[in-house]
Amino acid sequence: MGAYQLISRTGPNLSKIGVRTVFNVESVGPSAIDILIVEDSPTQAALIRRTLEEQGFVCDVARSGAEALSILFSRHPRLVISDIGMPGMDGFELCRYIKRAEHFRNTPVILLTSLTDPEDVLLGLEAGADNYVTKPYDEGYLISRVKHLLKRVERESLRETSEGLELSYEGKQYLVTMDRHQILTVLISMFENMAHQNRSLTRTQLDLERVNEDLRRVNAQLEEALAFRSESVANLTGELQVRLGMLMSAAQAVAQGSDHFVSAYPDFPKRVLNEVELLTKLLTGVFETSDVDGWHLHLKPAAFSVGQAVNDVLTLINPVATSKRLLIEVRSEPVEIQVHMDPVRFRQILYNLMSNAVKFTPEGGEISVRIRMIGQNLEVSISDTGPGIPPENQRILFEPQTWRSASKQPRGSMGLALSSRLVNIMGGEIHVRSASDHGSTFTFRLPANLREEAARRGQ
> Is residue 325 left, alpha or beta, with left meaning phi > 0 and alpha meaning psi from -120 to 50?
left
Percent of the chain with pLDDT over 90: 30
Say whether both 314 and 392 belong to one domain.
Answer: yes
Return the number of other C-beta atoms located less than 10 Å from residue 356's C-beta: 20
CA distance 313 to 344: 11
The residue segments making up the domain with residue 316 are 236-456
pLDDT of residue 307: 94
Say whether both 247 and 125 belong to one domain.
Answer: no
Q: What is the pLDDT of residues 25-82, one digit of tens each?
A: 443 444 678 999 999 999 999 999 999 999 999 999 999 999 999 999 889 899 999 9
Say whether both 328 and 415 belong to one domain.
Answer: yes
Say whether both 150 and 13 belong to one domain.
Answer: yes
Lowest mean pLDDT among 27-36, 135-144, 154-163, 415-424: 154-163
Helix axes 414-425, 343-360, angle to 10 degrees: 150
pLDDT of residue 316: 76
Give the domain CATH number at 111: 3.40.50.2300
Is 217 part of a structural domain of the chain? no
Is 433 part of a structural domain of the chain? yes
CA distance 243 to 279: 8
Say whether both 159 and 300 belong to one domain.
Answer: no
Instruction: Find which of 24-33, 77-86, 218-227 is predicted with most confidence, using mean pLDDT.
Output: 77-86
Say whether both 98 and 246 belong to one domain.
Answer: no
Say whether both 245 and 366 belong to one domain.
Answer: yes
Q: What is the pLDDT of residues 160-191, one digit of tens each?
A: 445 555 555 555 655 555 555 566 666 666 66
Last residue of a domain, one of 178, 210, 226: 178
Last residue of a domain, one of 154, 178, 202: 178
Cβ distance 119 to 170 under 8 Å? yes
Percent of the chain with pLDDT over 70: 61
Last residue of a domain, one of 147, 178, 209: 178
Q: What DSSP character marks residue 4?
A: E
pLDDT at 286 over 60: no
Q: How does residue 432 score in pLDDT terms, banded at 50, 70 and 90?
A: very high
CA distance 183 to 185: 5
The total of structural domains in the chain comes to 2
Give the domain CATH number at 378: 3.30.565.10
Is 184 part of a structural domain of the chain? no
Give the max Cα distance, the chain. 125
CA distance 335 to 371: 9
Say whether both 168 and 260 belong to one domain.
Answer: no
Question: How far, rounded to the nearest angstrom, does the alpha carbon of residue 340 sit from its chain's CA centroid?
Answer: 36
162 or 151: whose pLDDT is higher? 151
Is 222 part of a structural domain of the chain? no
Give whole-number Cα distances, 21 to 4, 101, 236, 365, in Å.
5, 11, 92, 114
Is 133 part of a structural domain of the chain? yes
Q: How does residue 293 score in pLDDT terms, banded at 50, 70 and 90?
A: very low
Say whether both 136 and 11 belong to one domain.
Answer: yes
